[in-house]
């Protein structure tokens, strides 16, 4: 997963097998031929949605309430393309001209009115044990250096810092660790990821590991193991958002039981619209509402619709569904740019967020609702986590517990035998 495939096409990480195959079939050349990218900025001009009244209103709205996206994989692109050498990708230039094209650069983030970004510091699950932890440190380092390099970015770890950066016209830059396997079962690693600046941990990636079941693998724990629940408690203590994208529905429920603080889905859509295991089931949506959490709707085409091509309207259907079910105060945006090669029509890169908001304006959303969806909801969740952390830190120290202290998984789980 971390090297180009035999066909020379990058296999990005965020998909089911079928999607990987589809991406390989499409390839960069075919994607260009299909008009997804052609090495120029024509993608915006080609979109039907960017000239009208609603588009201008959407831009104005996002200038007042900057967009905070939950998941972008540009840091992974550095690892794949340059071995984490920052000189190899200049984010001030048009990275859609690279081969294969990228979705993210500073000029397009500006056009997209992005005011805050959780940069994913992703490590694939084919790395395990200390090797995964080393790669995690390297990705955290790359993200921190990338944020330092560009004056347009400002490192942020709290909701207040995000707002201050946005007020200064900077893109607030937060870090999210994607995949609990990188902890190598060590709460110490979790705490040091927090110290390095990570403010969410996605409990699993595409594979079940020693303490949590993934949505796209065989479950072994019936959700979270006892140690997994302790990880959630320690995240509450630290002040880290629990990210439930990628996890099994039973893990979602267990984490909602265990967490005292709001949870997020950094890049997932609604299963009530598209029955994909990476999406959020309705009964979980109901609990996210009670929890004060946020589902950051993703643009991954196969999560957004069963049909091809996916469109901005399909993404808006997921926003509609979550609003109808639990209200707009539990919706955010987590596109997964540069973690995918295919994108919905109209949402081709990070400049496209106003197109989605124009679609939502056409559907009758009010300014207040849209400002909450753009970023205020996730800021509220961050503040909730910060408050819980402050309370817990008054009551106790960091936990002394270790993985070995917890009962092994049930015999059927396989871990005991391995
Ligand atoms: Zn992902």
Taking Cα atoms as reference points, which of 222, 315, 312, 243 lies closest to residue 274? 315
Regarding predicted confidence, which is higher, 411 or 249?
249
pLDDT computed for residue 41 by the predictor: 34
How would residue 6 be classed by pLDDT, with cut points 50, 70 and 90?
Answer: very low
Domain edges within the chain: 40-396
pLDDT computed for residue 289 by the predictor: 98
Report strand pairing: 114-122 vs 171-178.
Answer: parallel
The percent of residues above 70 in pLDDT, for the chain, comes to 86
Mean pLDDT of all residues in 211-231: 98
User: Hunting for tokens 């309370």 — which residue is that?
Assistant: 391
How would residue 410 be classed by pLDDT, with cut points 50, 70 and 90?
Answer: low
Catalytic residues: 71, 73, 178, 205, 246, 267, 336
Mean pLDDT of the chain: 89
Residue 134 pLDDT > 60: yes
126: left (phi over 0), alpha (psi -120 to 50) or beta: alpha
How would residue 27 be classed by pLDDT, with cut points 50, 70 and 90?
Answer: very low
Enter the tokens of residue 51.
Answer: 């000239």
End-to-end Cα spacing for the chain: 24
Mean pLDDT of all residues in 208-229: 98
Q: What is the phi/psi pair of residue 242, to 5°?
A: -85, 115
- From the CA of 14, how far away is ligand 1's center (Å)? 5
pLDDT computed for residue 214 by the predictor: 98
Q: Write out pLDDT tens, residues 240-296.
A: 999 999 999 999 999 999 999 999 999 999 999 999 999 999 999 999 999 999 999
- From the CA of 277, how far away is ligand 1's center (Å)? 12
pLDDT computed for residue 409 by the predictor: 57
- From the CA of 86, how far away is ligand 1's center (Å)? 23
> How far, in Å, are 41, 74, 85, 307, 343 from residue 78 at the CA level?
22, 7, 7, 32, 20
- From the CA of 267, how far away is ligand 1's center (Å)? 7
Q: Distance between CA atoms of 418 and 416, rounded to whole angstroms? A: 6
- From the CA of 278, how far away is ligand 1's center (Å)? 9
SS3 of the chain: helix, strand, coil, percent, to 5: 50, 15, 40
| Second CATH level (architecture) for the domain 40-396 | Alpha-Beta Barrel (3.20)
Q: Write out pLDDT tens, residues 33-88.
A: 333 333 333 344 344 557 799 999 999 999 999 999 999 999 999 999 999 999 99
Mean pLDDT of all residues in 147-176: 98
How would residue 407 be classed by pLDDT, with cut points 50, 70 and 90?
Answer: confident
Residue 190 pLDDT > 90: yes
Residue 306 pLDDT > 70: yes
- From the CA of 395, how far away is ligand 1's center (Å)? 34
SS3 178: strand
Q: Distance between CA atoms of 335 and 374, rounded to whole angstroms? A: 12
Q: Within 10 A of 152 (CB to CB), how many other CB atoms are there? A: 16
Q: Distance between CA atoms of 345 and 101, rounded to whole angstroms? A: 16
- From the CA of 32, how far away is ligand 1's center (Å)? 24
Maximum Cα–Cα distance across the chain: 63
pLDDT computed for residue 50 by the predictor: 73
Regarding predicted confidence, which is higher, 5 or 63?
63
Mean pLDDT of all residues in 300-321: 97
Ion ligand 1, residue ranges at CB < 5 A: 14
DSSP 374-412: IIIHHHHHHHHHHHHHHHHHHH--S----GGGSPPPPGG
């Amino acid at each position: 997963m971390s090297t180009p495939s035999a066909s020379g096409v990058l296999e990005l990480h965020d998909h089911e097998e079928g999607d990987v195959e589809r991406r390989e079939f499409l390839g960069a050349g075919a994607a260009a031929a299909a008009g997804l990218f052609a090495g120029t900025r024509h993608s915006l001009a080609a979109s039907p949605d960017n000239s009208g009244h609603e588009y201008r209103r959407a831009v104005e709205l996002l200038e007042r309430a900057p967009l905070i996206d939950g998941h972008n994989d540009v840091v992974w692109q550095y690892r794949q393309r340059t071995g984490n050498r920052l000189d190899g990708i200049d984010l001030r230039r048009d990275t859609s001209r690279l081969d294969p094209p990228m979705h993210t650069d500073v000029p397009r983030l500006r056009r997209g009115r992005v005011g805050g970004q959780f940069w994913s510091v992703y490590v694939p699950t084919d790395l395990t044990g200390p090797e995964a932890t080393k790669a995690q440190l390297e990705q955290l380092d790359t993200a921190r250096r990338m944020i330092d390099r560009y004056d347009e970015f400002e490192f942020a770890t709290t909701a207040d810092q995000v707002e201050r950066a946005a007020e200064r016209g900077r893109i607030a830059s937060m870090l999210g660790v994607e995949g609990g396997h990188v902890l190598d079962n060590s709460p110490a690693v979790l705490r040091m990821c927090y110290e390095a600046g990570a403010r969410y941990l996605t409990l699993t990636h595409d594979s079940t590991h020693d303490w949590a079941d993934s949505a796209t693998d065989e479950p072994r724990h019936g959700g979270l193991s006892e140690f997994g629940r302790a990880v959630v408690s320690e995240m509450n203590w630290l002040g880290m958002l629990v990210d439930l994208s990628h996890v099994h529905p039973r893990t979602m429920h267990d984490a909602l039981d265990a967490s005292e603080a709001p949870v997020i889905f950094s890049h997932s859509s609604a299963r009530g619209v598209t029955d994909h295991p990476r999406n959020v089931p309705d009964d979980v949506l109901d609990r996210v509402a009670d929890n004060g959490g946020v589902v950051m709707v993703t643009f991954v085409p196969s999560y957004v619709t069963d049909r091809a091509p996916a469109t901005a309207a399909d993404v808006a259907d997921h926003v509609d569904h979550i609003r109808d079910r639990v209200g707009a105060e539990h919706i955010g945006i987590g596109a997964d740019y540069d973690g995918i090669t295919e994108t919905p029509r109209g949402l081709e890169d990070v400049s496209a967020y106003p197109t989605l908001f124009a679609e939502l304006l056409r559907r009758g959303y009010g300014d207040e609702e849209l400002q909450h969806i753009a970023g205020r909801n996730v800021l509220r969740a961050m503040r909730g986590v910060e408050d819980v952390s402050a309370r817990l830190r008054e009551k106790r120290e960091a936990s002394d517990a270790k993985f070995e202290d917890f009962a092994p998984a049930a015999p059927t789980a396989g871990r005991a035998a391995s």
